[in-house]
Structure 1
């Protein structure tokens, strides 16, 4: 697969890596600490018609407090054209104490596009209280809204985020989103996903 455009600057460097399959693979590499308070980072990935693109990261992303501005923004924009497939599989996002990060992820898919998207968020390092983390995920297929959700955790978040209806005292949350045209008629069966089962599910998807 060809990568007609591969360009990055600031704390994120882009590297073409070996995929071991037909997909083009790009790895996000942290060139410096970030996102820090006051940063506004944007990652855009587009899989053109019929293409297969796999995007991952070399290490976890660590949200850190800034010296002057409290809030950092991290925007992810994914576009998948007809007959194309995009796999967005970064490592964990870690919310460090006193940090404030707002993450927005938006995926726009053609009617027959395929998407595999994984999010994993860790609230605080070992033995540490979390920072404030707000994460919003929006997925549209052929212009129709499939998913629009937001989760806010840590100091300053709306009450109840750590209660039994949300995290129930846990300090990590994750989800795996799979969009395929065939699921319209042949829905997959529900299953409990831990990390090992998640990796196996990704392997079975090819």
Structure 2
């Protein structure tokens, strides 16, 4: 018999990577001019709910079934709009990133695929990064040449009366296999210069609106500025190389940020698609 001295046994990790690993999958398919959802599969914190359709589009709401993302969580959403489908994704409430039981960051990856003549709108409620949270979020978007996309994101750094959490994001958009946009941002404790005058200064709400439409190739949007300097609100609407326009905004709070992005969205021209859809 061999006796083991527990004092000499390998020490267990002091800070194991814990957390929830979950993936939600959504597939939209056009059937005779009406978009259907043959795949609507969520687990962990993701509960997916069909909403009442509007016209030919399918609408899905992501409902948080538990607190997430927390430190160590690995969350992923995959959504595909097949040819001629129209898919609108939203959320029931703001996403609240919180400190977890581990110092490891939470990751939240969103993969969107949009086929020819399809349209996908990703318009969730804001992301709130609570004090002590650490989140890495990414979007990877692949578009066919005639696909259309509307993507809105809003980030609120800290709840009322508390310091901000940390969030790092990366947005990668490819159209017809070619890179259209790669953008990285980082805010909160540990991010260099994030609260300096060249980035957010005293603002704690920031967001952007990306609209991609092949009709912009013949009718491109123009540069526009919005906001009220006395109110601390600023937004810029800028055409990108390719049929796309990007609005970025900063504001003191979530309400004024949403108002800025709504104003920018209303200023984006909505030309009729070439195929009449």
Give the TM-score taking structure 1 as reference length. Answer: 0.94
Can you list the C-alpha shifts for 1:43-97, whole angstroms capped at 9, x where unaligned? 0100000100000000000001111243100000000001100000011000010
Larger radius of gyration: 2
Q: Is 2:246 the partner of 1:180?
A: no
Aligned residue number for residue 92 of structure 1: 126
Asked whether the 8 Å contact 1:70–1:99 carries over to 2, the reply is no
- Rounded to whole Å, the distance in 2 between the matches of 1:181 and 1:131 is 37
Which of 117, 142, 148 matches 1:83? 117
Q: In the aligned structure 2, how far is the partner of 1:19 from the partner of 1:200?
A: 22
Higher relative contact order (CA 8 A, sep 6+): 1
Kindly report which structure 2 residues correspond to 1:13-28, keeping only aligned pairs within 5 A, or say none: 13-28=47-62
Deviations 1:94-143 (A, max 9, x none): 00100100000111000010000001000000111111100111111001
Aligned length: 205
Choose which of 119, 124, 128 in structure 1 pairs with 2:162. Answer: 128
Q: What are structure 1's unaligned runs of at least 5 residues?
A: none
Which sections of structure 2, spanning at least 5 residues, go unmatched? 1-34, 227-234, 236-259, 273-277
| Distance (whole Å) between structure 2 residues aligned to residue 203 and residue 183 of structure 1 | 9
Counterpart of 2:145 in structure 1 is 111
**Greater mean alpha carbon deviation, residues 46-55 or residues 12-21:** 12-21
Task: Give the Cα separation in 2 of the matches to 1:53 and 1:187.
Answer: 24
Report how far residue 189 of structure 1 moved. Answer: 2.0
> 2:200 aligns to what?
167
Give the equivalent residue in structure 2 for 1:49: 83
Equivalents in 1 of 2:271, 2:101: separation in Å? Answer: 44
Q: CA RMSD in A?
A: 1.8
TM-score by length of 2: 0.70
